[in-house]
Structure 1
Amino acid sequence: MDNVELLSRIQFAFTIAFHYIYPPLSIGLGVCLVIMEGLYLKTKDKVYEELTRFWVRIFALIFGIGVATGIVMEFEFGTNWATYSRYVGDIFGSALAAEGIFAFALESAFLGILLFGWNRVSPRVHFMATVLVALGSIFSALWIVVANSWQQTPSGYRIEGTGMQARAIVTDFWAMVFNPSSIERYSHVLIGALLAGSFLVLSVSAWYILKKKYIVHAEAAFRIALWVAAVSSLAQLFTGSKSAEVVTKYQPAKLAAMEGHFEKSAPGDMYLMGWVNAKEQKTMGLKIPGGLSFLVHHDVNAPIPGLNSIKPENRPTAINFVFQTYHLMIAIGMALIALTLFALFMLYRGKLFQTRWLMGVFVFSVLLPQIGNQVGWYTAEVGRQPWVVYGLLRTSDALSQAVKAEHVLASLIMFTLIYVMLFGLFLYLLNKKIQHGPDVVSEDETSSRMNPSLSPILNE
């Protein structure tokens, strides 16, 4: 791997990882907004309206930063990956055009009503706008995942030209859209987004409860987000299993790297944790013998093709990295299941909001879905290497020929500085909105704040 390829991969990984903080938050938060405003329409309880108004402001902040950070990647396709852009232009052009027409336009068109239409349209029309904005963000993710999934499992195409002029042409649009991995990967990504958004609501609500501020609002929001998070964390088990089945069938090298399996044809173990020594072709750690074989074939003695059955030049380039990110993703997923189910148990017993240590855990739990989403993408993308389009185009062949290493390094430093400042601005504005809290006019919250034991103002 030369310096241009390495730096270009680092630059794209950095920009897309930073951008990927925001779309999952907006998708998950959008669903929570629909539930909050739907409860307001059903119950006429002003607490739900005030909650919706508060979280809409945070949604707008996340949406704005997400759009700004996503633009950079489109330019990188042309500057750093010109051969790749030519190769997949017909495929990506179709998917991204559909995303712009059917998703982003829908989301953007009704965002204005969501933000500024509270006193200008009826409650039902505003609720419809909230639903359509949430659907727009969900559809937007669909087309992005379709484009990425085609790189993992290409279908519905033909290759025209040769060498540097080769390009993939769509022959069947729907075969391209419903490629072998698109639905499974999209469902997995969508559930991850629901977890990211719901845990943001849980984190902020838990912080309010610990600080004894906006108690009625915080408890109402916590209940909503907790159910979303609990259902989503359990659903992630199913979507993750389906995604693994696709990887098993279409990307055996990635599967072998995920579990550090080297033998050509031997039963595969499932590691709970461990370390891969790629040079010595050994994996050490805590494992379930035959566990991978059982998950794939329901037989602990069934052979699994290992990395030694694949040509060295076609194997993932960072096996231990893929192993570690995959197992970290699994560990986080199980932790989220345990945390949400325990919280539901405490809610059933009526002790949830009085358990301060648990509220403290939820304040910091907002990091877990974000880390899980990031390492999940690392597993998928690094595990696909050395292919940028699996089995068709190598990453080393996808680079722009005119770009030099010093150009990429300079832009990487510039992007890093800009993104650090942008992230600092995001945290500052987010903290400012959280400190401000909901605009309270409802009687329930007013009465709770008149209680000296609940009001930080009176305590002062």
Structure 2
Amino acid sequence: MDAVILARWQFALTALFHFIFVPLTLGLSFLVAIMETIYVKTNNPTYLRMTKFFGKLFLINFALGLVTGITLEFEFGMNWARYSKFVGDIFGAPLAIEATLAFFLESTFLGVWIFGWKKVSKKMHALSIWLVAFGTNISALWILIANAWMQHPVGYVVRNGRAEFVDFWAVVTQPYAILKFLHTITAGYVVGAFFVMGISAYHLLKNQEVDLFKRAFKIGAAFGLFATIAVFIIGDLHAGEVAKTQPTKLAAMESVWTSQKGAPMYLLIIPDEKHQKNAVELFGIPKMLSIIAYHNANATIKGLKDFPKNDRPPVTITFVSFRTMVGLGTLFVLLAIIAYYYIRKDILLNKKWFLKLMLFAIPLPYIAIELGWIVAEVGRQPWIVYGLMRTADATSTAVTVSQIIMSLIGFVLFYSILGAIDIYLLVKYAKQLPEKV
């Protein structure tokens, strides 16, 4: 196994593990802020207890997520040194802004929120968690702007063997970056909403703190209904942008091998990469793929065979990840609608089957968002910067295979321990009853 494959595996595993923590931070921060705001407005101690209960879970997730993200920076400098040298002028700028602006905003006011109980006014304390929530989302914005440039490079010129800025605002405001950001954060909101609903369902099933957790479930259901619908709409717009900027990724996402005008969408497909075709194509909806991709029933979808083999991404993993993500996204909309209906009609406690379903549904948004990241990154291959720099040309010449293997083993062991700690702490404190105030 060569250094490129090992470096890709190492970065994939560390990024996917780090991304377990990110979406819950994005979603739960806003939910905790909403809970505390209701407390400030109503002075109802139930919402104060609710805020502290879910706030503790937020802090556990935030702390462990922070640790896991640091290693990615080192991997850019070590395993991907040639990439960093080539794009450092562009890629480094959004990351620097993220660190100096967003990270300091969220970390500073998180400190105020943790240690400011009864030391600052209730309104100031609530404002601090809102600033943390905005900070986490601004942090995601700049990181995703950097990643969006890798997906669709704009506003640059190659000079002296390096990519350099010529238009900073083109990078920041390009549609791919905006849609990628909105798609990712709303997916994080879904994770947060299902997390709150699932934990509330656990306590409701045990008939514990019924009033508090019914209120928490209601907040999660309303937030989740908004988030699931937003993800669905923004995801559709994002797919349209992918169709325009990354036609090879679109073809892999839908396993389209031959170019077609007015392309149908098949509900059941089994790709056969070896023979460059689909082994199974069933239940086709005429022209639906062209409509979804270009909002034009007669648009042409370019097939994989129209691209050189060495320019095509892995098809099966991209296709399966995309289809599973979309299927889960559809399920989340249905569950959120049912959850909101049941809680509004005050019949949730009579639906034990649904409470159990929502409890066991907690991991599903995590799976969906990880699959989305796989689609984004694997679907871009063989390019590390789409159409500009190949992944095989981006690794360091100074790092040996044995060094990558040793660090990979070390990361797997270390992250396994962190993951076990995270699950243990979240389960432990999620099962406990909210503290009295």
TM over 0.5: yes
Where does residue 103 of structure 1 map in the other structure? 102
Instruction: Note the C-alpha offset of 1:298.
Output: 4.1
What amino acid is aligned across from residue 224 of structure 1 in structure 2?
Answer: I
Residues 253-273 of structure 1: CA deviation (Å, up to 9, x unaligned): 110111111113444232333
Instruction: Report which stretch shifted further, 90-99 or 136-145.
Output: 90-99
3-state SS of paired residue (2:384): strand
Where does residue 199 of structure 2 map in the other structure? 204
Instruction: Note the C-alpha offset of 1:301.
Output: 4.2
Counterparts in 2 of 1:370-409, with a 5 A limit?
Answer: 370-409=366-405
- Once residues 315 and 192 of structure 1 are traced to their aligned partners in structure 2, the CA distance between those partners, rounded to angstroms, is 27
- Once residues 340 and 281 of structure 2 are traced to their aligned partners in structure 1, the CA distance between those partners, rounded to angstroms, is 33
Verify: 1:268 aligned to 2:263, yes or no.
yes
Match of 2:306 among 297, 306, 309: 309
3-state SS of paired residue (2:75): helix
3-state SS of paired residue (1:275): strand
Where does residue 413 of structure 1 map in the other structure? 409
TM-score scaled by length of structure 1: 0.92
Match of 1:335 among 331, 339, 362: 331
Residues 278-309 of structure 1: CA deviation (Å, up to 9, x unaligned): 12222224332321012234444432111111
- Once residues 237 and 268 of structure 2 are traced to their aligned partners in structure 1, the CA distance between those partners, rounded to angstroms, is 22
- Once residues 266 and 278 of structure 1 are traced to their aligned partners in structure 2, the CA distance between those partners, rounded to angstroms, is 22
Where does residue 48 of structure 1 map in the other structure? 47
- Once residues 261 and 72 of structure 2 are traced to their aligned partners in structure 1, the CA distance between those partners, rounded to angstroms, is 41
Counterparts in 2 of 1:16-27, with a 5 A limit?
Answer: 16-27=15-26
Match of 1:293 among 285, 290, 294: 290
Contact (CA 8 Å) 2:271, 2:277: kept in 1 or not? yes
Contact (CA 8 Å) 1:56, 1:115: kept in 2 or not? no
Larger radius of gyration: 1
Over aligned residues, Cα RMSD in angstroms? 1.3
- Once residues 338 and 329 of structure 2 are traced to their aligned partners in structure 1, the CA distance between those partners, rounded to angstroms, is 14
Residues 169-206 of structure 1: CA deviation (Å, up to 9, x unaligned): 11111112123400011000010010111111111111
Verify: 1:65 aligned to 2:60, yes or no.
no
Verify: 1:239 aligned to 2:238, yes or no.
no
Where does residue 447 of structure 1 map in the other structure? none
Where does residue 227 of structure 1 map in the other structure? 222
Instruction: Report which stretch shifted further, 426-435 or 412-421.
Output: 426-435
3-state SS of paired residue (2:268): strand
Where does residue 422 of structure 1 map in the other structure? 418
- Once residues 217 and 329 of structure 1 are traced to their aligned partners in structure 2, the CA distance between those partners, rounded to angstroms, is 32
Gaps of 5+ in 1: 442-460
Where does residue 448 of structure 1 map in the other structure? none
Verify: 1:349 aligned to 2:348, yes or no.
no
What amino acid is aligned across from residue 296 of structure 1 in structure 2?
Answer: A
Where does residue 438 of structure 1 map in the other structure? 434
Verify: 1:252 aligned to 2:251, yes or no.
no
Residues 373-423 of structure 1: CA deviation (Å, up to 9, x unaligned): 000010011110000001100000001112222221221111111111111
3-state SS of paired residue (1:218): helix
**Is the alpha carbon distance of 1:431 and 1:93 closer, same or farther for their aligned partners in structure 2, counting shifts above 3 Å?**
same
What amino acid is aligned across from residue 78 of structure 2 in structure 1?
Answer: T
Instruction: Report which stretch shifted further, 79-88 or 262-271.
Output: 262-271
Contact (CA 8 Å) 1:50, 1:439: kept in 2 or not? yes
Contact (CA 8 Å) 1:153, 1:180: kept in 2 or not? no
Contact (CA 8 Å) 1:261, 1:269: kept in 2 or not? no
Instruction: Note the C-alpha offset of 1:17.
Output: 0.3
Contact (CA 8 Å) 1:56, 1:114: kept in 2 or not? no
**Is the alpha carbon distance of 1:291 and 1:36 closer, same or farther for their aligned partners in structure 2, counting shifts above 3 Å?**
same
Residues 219-262 of structure 1: CA deviation (Å, up to 9, x unaligned): 11100011111111011111001101111111111101111111
Where does residue 458 of structure 1 map in the other structure? none
Instruction: Note the C-alpha offset of 1:21.
Output: 0.7
3-state SS of paired residue (1:141): helix
3-state SS of paired residue (2:348): coil
Where does residue 153 of structure 1 map in the other structure? 152
Contact (CA 8 Å) 2:53, 2:435: kept in 1 or not? yes
Contact (CA 8 Å) 2:243, 2:294: kept in 1 or not? no
- Once residues 32 and 349 of structure 1 are traced to their aligned partners in structure 2, the CA distance between those partners, rounded to angstroms, is 22
What amino acid is aligned across from residue 154 of structure 2 in structure 1?
Answer: S
3-state SS of paired residue (1:271): strand
TM-score scaled by length of structure 2: 0.97
Instruction: Report which stretch shifted further, 325-334 or 35-44.
Output: 35-44
Kindly, what percent of the aligned residue pairs are identical?
40
Where does residue 321 of structure 1 map in the other structure? 317
- Once residues 117 and 379 of structure 1 are traced to their aligned partners in structure 2, the CA distance between those partners, rounded to angstroms, is 42
Counterparts in 2 of 1:147-186, with a 5 A limit?
Answer: 147-161=146-160, 166-186=161-181
Instruction: Note the C-alpha offset of 1:116.
Output: 1.4
What amino acid is aligned across from residue 16 of structure 1 in structure 2?
Answer: A
- Once residues 298 and 175 of structure 2 are traced to their aligned partners in structure 1, the CA distance between those partners, rounded to angstroms, is 27
What amino acid is aligned across from residue 124 of structure 1 in structure 2?
Answer: K
**Is the alpha carbon distance of 1:196 and 1:320 closer, same or farther for their aligned partners in structure 2, counting shifts above 3 Å?**
same
**Is the alpha carbon distance of 1:299 and 1:93 closer, same or farther for their aligned partners in structure 2, counting shifts above 3 Å?**
closer
**Is the alpha carbon distance of 1:183 and 1:3 closer, same or farther for their aligned partners in structure 2, counting shifts above 3 Å?**
same
Where does residue 457 of structure 1 map in the other structure? none
- Once residues 297 and 142 of structure 1 are traced to their aligned partners in structure 2, the CA distance between those partners, rounded to angstroms, is 26
Counterparts in 2 of 1:69-80, with a 5 A limit?
Answer: 69-80=68-79
- Once residues 26 and 349 of structure 1 are traced to their aligned partners in structure 2, the CA distance between those partners, rounded to angstroms, is 30
Where does residue 11 of structure 2 map in the other structure? 12
- Once residues 264 and 2 of structure 2 are traced to their aligned partners in structure 1, the CA distance between those partners, rounded to angstroms, is 36
Instruction: Report which stretch shifted further, 426-435 or 36-45.
Output: 426-435
Give the count of matched residue pairs. Answer: 435
